Amino acid sequence: MATVRFDKAQRWYPGADVPAVPGIDLEIGDGEFMVLVGPSGCGKSTTLRMLAGLEEVNSGKIFIGDREVTNTPPKDRDIAMVFQNYALYPHMSVADNMGFALKMAKVPKDEQRKRVEEAARILGLTEYLDRKPKALSGGQRQRVAMGRAIVRSPQVFCMDEPLSNLDAKMRVQTRTDIAKLQADLGVTTVYVTHDQVEAMTMGDRVAVMDKGYLQQVDTPLKLYDKPVNLFVAGFIGSPQMNLLEGTAADGDVRIGSYAVPVDATASKKMNGRVTVGVRPENWRLVGDGEGLPVKVTVVEELGADSYLYGTSDVEGLPSTIIVRSSGRGPTRKGEVLHVTTDPGHVHVFDTDTGERLSA
């Protein structure tokens, strides 16, 4: 096993006006599951491919353990890559696909068979070892791709959106399998996804990226509870945080005639235009004439919970406000609710800089 360290690693594609990754500094612990997450084009896959040796590093350095691998060929980095499209050989059996890297490395046949059988046992693929990939489901193919990585016993797993080709149910099952497998094997893993739910449920830590820059690197709960800026606040959470624009006044934030209560730390820092964030579960219902009026346009019933999507005529509010309610509630489409929140549940950001002002 090994640590991974990016030291101001930069990737600048020829002909581009700006670098895809301006210079990333990131340390990943031995045996840690690190997820890189962000919107399309944020540089997460480029960062992973620099680690794997599939992209040139224009400046800076990359280390695996104590060894600098910035200019080391991919085959000599002791990493195993798991791709989005499985990348299996269609004419080979599952066993041959899983053992191909060992065959190329001239590992003795008995050792090859032993490692392939062990990986198949871990992944529940023993009965499929003689089949061809076309006879497998998408989830089974992805497990074969995982098996091919496991048999090599690498220092680092690199996974590039490995679940994006699976249907929703299979994606949930497979991400649980991958997280458990990584915990059992203890191999340092760098995992790229654009799906923040995937990131939050799988990673020991999550690195949120935007435009090539790291916005925040933290545990999933800290990202959710204390986003450092507006980008992270809007990106992390499903459904996303309600972001309301207002003006700082007398220690509160005024949005129309409604005064949003904020914590003491934020009230001392606020000045001028600010944006407050409220998670859907942190609204509470109040009587008519109090709080913010929200006209319900959609009720999303999920059984245990329901999400109410609505609109409000108050200036500074987004086009849609989301409120989480207990499941099977009496609220119906077309009703007008009044909601408010508490200071401890309000995230305050400077609208211009995006910086967090709350404690």
CATH number, domain with residue 124:
3.40.50.300
Other CB atoms within a 10 A radius of the CB of residue 286 amount to: 14
User: Which CATH number characterizes residue 316's domain?
Assistant: 2.40.50.140
Residue 253 in any domain: the answer is: yes
Report pLDDT for 166. Answer: 84
pLDDT digits (tens, 9 = 90+) for 123-168: 889 999 999 999 999 889 988 999 999 998 899 999 999 988 888 8
Residue 326 in any domain: the answer is: yes
Q: Which tokens go with 36?
A: 């890189």
**Alpha-carbon gap, residue 248 to 272, rounded angstroms:** 5
DSSP bridge partners of 217: 207
Residues 37 and 175 in one domain: yes
Ranges of residues in the chain whose predicted pLDDT is under 70: 1
Report pLDDT for 164. Answer: 86
Residue 356 in any domain: the answer is: no
Residues 210 and 275 in one domain: no
Q: Which domain holds residue 36?
A: 4-230
Residues 12 and 120 in one domain: yes
Report pLDDT for 169. Answer: 87
Residue 345 in any domain: the answer is: yes
Residues 13 and 54 in one domain: yes
Report pLDDT for 12. Answer: 95
Domain boundary among 202, 230, 258: 230
Residue 235 in any domain: the answer is: no
Residues 226 and 174 in one domain: yes
Residue 358 in any domain: the answer is: no
Q: How many domains, the chain? A: 2
Residues 169 and 261 in one domain: no
Report pLDDT for 225. Answer: 96
Report pLDDT for 303. Answer: 83
Report pLDDT for 87. Answer: 86
pTM for the complete prediction? 0.91
Residues 181 and 47 in one domain: yes
Residues 304 and 224 in one domain: no
Based on the number of CB atoms within 10 Å of its own CB, is 167 exposed (0-12), middle (13-18) or buried (19 or more)? Answer: exposed
Residues 199 and 298 in one domain: no
DSSP letter at 31 equals T
E strands, the chain, where? 4-11, 21-28, 33-37, 59-64, 67-68, 79-82, 156-160, 188-193, 205-210, 213-218, 242-249, 252-255, 258-260, 273-278, 284-285, 292-301, 305-311, 321-326, 336-340, 347-350
